[in-house]
Structures are given as C-alpha cells and as structure tokens.
C-alpha cells in the first residue's frame, strides 16, 4: 500500500492556478458600434454604449469642426471616467473603448504617412 503525503504549499499553488483559468466559453462576444453622428445631441448615446462596455468607432466627418472638437472633449472625459481609452484612427475617426477592451499598437505611423500618400484619399 502506497501512502501519498501532500505538501500544503503545493495544494495552495494548484488551487490558485485553477482560479486563474478563464473559460473561453464564459466570455461574451464584444460588439463594436460604428457611429456617424450628425448633431451634438448624439454624443450621449455614444457615451451610453461605452457605459454598457461596448467599444465605439466614431466618424466625425459629417459634422462641423467646432462640434467635432466638443465631441472629442466629451468622449475623452467619458472614457477617462470609465477607465477606458480613446485613439485616433484617421483624420476624423476615433476609437473609444471602455475598460474591458484593450487596444494594442497605435496608428501613429499611419497618420504621419496619411498626408504623403495620395492613394489613401
């Protein structure tokens, strides 16, 4: 007859490993919302998407410059309050994410080259 003696530290480490495992099946699909607002009144709807943990791509090409600046200010405050992020994807396009979405990489090189490459227009 063989007797097994378990080390308490090994048991705690094994238990901790089990708690750190996240099932892929338990995570919901994340839906990205695409928005092209026409008035400033739509900014609250975008903030509501962020509060509901949905990332939003905002195309501000259809509104005036001063209204677009107000949009960016409002959305910057919203993502800051939610622990999220806002990143510029193009000349008038922004990607706003809540805290549950991480953005990897950046578009800096793309934005720098945007003015020099005619094929992008």
Residue 34 bridge partners (DSSP) = 57
* Domain-wise residue ranges, the chain: 30-120
The per-residue pLDDT for 102 is 81
pLDDT 10s digits, 66-89: 999 999 999 999 999 999 999 998
The per-residue pLDDT for 104 is 78
Give CA 40 to chain center in angstroms: 22
The per-residue pLDDT for 18 is 52
Q: Tell which CATH classification among 3.40.718.10, 3.30.420.40, 3.30.110.150, 3.40.50.720 matches the domain 30-120.
A: 3.30.110.150
The per-residue pLDDT for 69 is 95
CB contact at 8 A, 33 and 54: yes
pLDDT 10s digits, 85-95: 999 988 899 99
Alpha-carbon separation of residue 6 from 1, 18, 61, 103 (angstroms): 16, 17, 65, 43
pTM of the model: 0.66
Kindly give the parts of the chain with pLDDT less than 50.
Answer: 117-121
CB contact at 8 A, 33 and 56: yes
């Amino acid at each position: 007859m063989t007797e097994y003696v378990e080390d308490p530290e090994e048991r705690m480490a094994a238990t901790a490993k089990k708690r750190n495992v996240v099932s892929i099946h338990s995570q919901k699909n994340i839906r990205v919302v695409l928005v092209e607002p026409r008035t400033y009144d739509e900014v609250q709807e975008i903030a509501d998407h962020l509060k509901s943990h949905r990332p939003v791509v905002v195309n501000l090409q259809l509104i005036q410059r001063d209204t677009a600046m107000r949009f960016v200010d409002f959305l910057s405050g919203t993502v800051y309050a939610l622990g999220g992020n806002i990143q510029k994807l193009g000349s008038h396009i922004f990607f706003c994410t809540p805290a549950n979405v991480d953005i990897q990489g950046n578009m800096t090189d793309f934005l720098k080259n945007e003015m020099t490459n005619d094929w992008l227009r």
